[in-house]
Chains A and B, each alone.
Chain A
Amino acid sequence: MSTPSSSPSSTFTRRDFLRSGSALSLAAFFNTATAAPQGSVRATKDAPNLLFLNLDQLSHMALSCHGNPYLKTPNIDRLAARSVDFSKSYTPDPICCPARASWCTGRFPSENNVVANNRKLRTDLPDYGQWLGEHGYQTVHIGKWHVPGRQLHQSFQLVPHNSHPQGEYSDNLIALSFEAFLANRDHERPFFAQIGLMNPHDCGNAPRTAKHSFPFKHLRDQLPPYPPNFDFDRREPEQLKSMHNGLMNFTKMWTEENWGHQAWLYYRMVEMVDVNVGYILDTLEQSSDHANTVIIFTSDHGDANGYHRMLFKDNFYETSVRVPTMVCFPGHAPEGVEDTKHLVSGLDFFPTFCDYAGIVPPSGLRGRSLKPLLDGKATQWRRYLHAQSKASGRMVVDERFKFVRYYGSKTTQLFDLANDPYETRNLAFEPEYQSDCKRLANEIDRHEATLENVALPSSLSKRT
């Protein structure tokens, strides 16, 4: 691999940063940088490589290793068998841009300004590509990025192609580009590779196909039936209900076959990308880097896939907000362990990368490093996990309950995840659960007061 001389990707050095030191804060430095930082201070020789392998729109439930009988994902299952699989893992915000902006800055959408798709990231927050590059890592991004306001070449030293591949016919190329990178990488430095595979995101386009009869009569027995919570509790927050009603109106003529067709397409997309994940894992496992590479595997959000008679994402139901998170570090982290105890957030990845790299993270990160959990060290972990949606939505989860509130909506939701995992009964209307609602609402207020939220435009803030 070569970097053309016209590329500025290697032109910013720590010297540049130090030269600018008296006049610029670190944040301002990253803001004004026209190219991704490349620190001259080498990471320690034995610092591990970091592979952040992320999919798009993969629900926690959409894997065969998580018990789903309607698809087979042998490669992700293989990764799970070599990882700690955090089963209580949630995205910071169940839609693309806010989730990804939260990953890369370690800050909630209400703080980083990306509270909805296509809103621009605050320019004064460093992202993990910049931070790790400044601290001696070779940084590469391949695949989907989708963080408006932060151009890829400002964050990563190597960017071989555009963001936004088409999962159906471009994810193969993402896997090949990773192989090309690994075969030619700079072995003087550890690498941080963010690999963003697109599938199964494009199930968003599937309804135009699913509205037709399933075209393969002899394969009809593969169509999933209605999901177990197809009939759901309609007492939803008004903002969610508005969106949900629109989707139900869109699908009101659908039969069970149409819903099954939609789910069948989604699962084929998950299987498609599973092959690409397998290719990437094989590439790494056959390389000399394998033993010294931490893999974090996750997705930016899930997909409703018919659950709650819903499609797509952007809500707090488990199919949308709960995602797989697997961490693998051969010989250092346990293998084949499902962690059902700890509440994990996509905000935890940035501090985890810094912890493994042995570098101090930027101030203000909201997540926690997963490394102590992976090292088996006793640690005081979070009791509550928070997520946001649509600027005004807030979710808090504890070991048993999920509480959802949208500012401006009168109706709230409380689900007993321990006893009602499909979220079929909104307990916020039950007298005996009012104390839990109050406790969790107070927790949202307490947490919110700790954030450095940005001012939102009236089109968004009027909803809050």
Chain B
Amino acid sequence: MHLSFDLYPSYLQSFDIAPLECVASRQHYAIHAMRNYAYRTENGRQEGPFPQVRPEGSLELECLKPPTINSLRSMEVTHTRSWSTWTGQKHSSKQTIAAKIDYAANATGSPGKWKLSYQSDPIFPVKSYRYSKIGPMRQTGHRLGNVITISTTDSGQDRTYQAHHPTTSLYTLIERLQAGVVEPGPIDYLDDLTMFRPGLEITPLPDQRIEIKGTIEDLHGFALVGPALLPLYFWQNSNNHVLAVIGRNVAYTLTEIECK
């Protein structure tokens, strides 16, 4: 079994629905993160370590009806992360990225223009912890030729990055994988649409046969690998649905998918 399946198969779900050929769709992913280890005493002996995996947020992708130009797509993203400091504690704050992305309907889903909002919110009430709201902070981004520019509205700051390859993001890559058009090759990565990680590659993964909740599934997929990133493994079923995006300490698993 592939090394990326060591912790997360129990979170995967099977989806027996046709490939997404609808003009608009919605996909929801749950986020689980491996946090720490626990030990248990069994028959008087300490056993472990057992990895502790916890739910830590969600990712929702809403692919919008394309405009008349077929080479462009748009999607709305809500990416929420929320964790607790210690095992067993309730989450007491959450961080949310909300974005609207216009991107190319090419092999990588290159973001062309986007708007992003980031904020951190306390979750009340949580005993003993008091967090401050921060944000929302708004950004816009665009790619012109090989130059990517990200502007923060509040501060007026501009960041420019020189791209040497087609660019992608987690969000648009998932959609392009589901469209079945992704090809191996070099790529630059806009992590969270904000952190530029250039010089990566998309490389195919060996096919896997695994059991998902009683159903045998044949999976294929790609890895995003290279400098300044832990490999991300994208696993797809035979209908190209991206069932999981698995890092080393984090997994996004598909929980809902619908045509709109």
Contact = CB atoms under 8 A, between A and B. Distances in A.
Interface stretch (A207-215, A323-331, A345-353, A358-366): A207-215
B135 A4 contact: no
B230 A272 contact: yes
A183 B154 contact: yes
Interface in A26-43: 35
A166 B195 contact: no
Contact of B34 (A9, A205, A269): A205
A268 B228 contact: yes
Given A168-B249, A169-B247, A279 B194 contact: yes
B: contact size bracket: 35 or more
A153 B230 CA distance: 33
A7 B3 contact: no
B113 interface: no
Interface in A271-293: 271-272, 274-276, 279, 282-283, 286-287
B95 A177 contact: yes
A269 B230 contact: yes
A206 interface: yes
A160 B228 contact: no
A1 interface: yes
Interface stretch (B102-110, B123-131, B141-149): B123-131
A72 B223 CA distance: 21
Given A166-B35, A216-B223, A269-B230, A151 B194 contact: no
B155 A183 contact: yes
Contacts of A161: 93-95, 120, 131, 134
Nearest to B197: A275
A162 interface: yes
Most central of B81, B86, B124, B248 by chain A CB within 10 Å: B248
B250 interface: yes
B81 A275 contact: no
A6 B121 CA distance: 13
B41 to A, nearest CB: 17
7 contacts: A1-B133, A160-B120, A160-B133, A161-B93, A165-B83, A169-B247, A282-B159
Interface of A: 1-4, 6-9, 35, 71-72, 151-153, 158-170, 172-173, 175-177, 179-184, 202, 205-206, 208-209, 212, 215-216, 218-219, 265, 268-269, 271-272, 274-276, 279, 282-283, 286-287
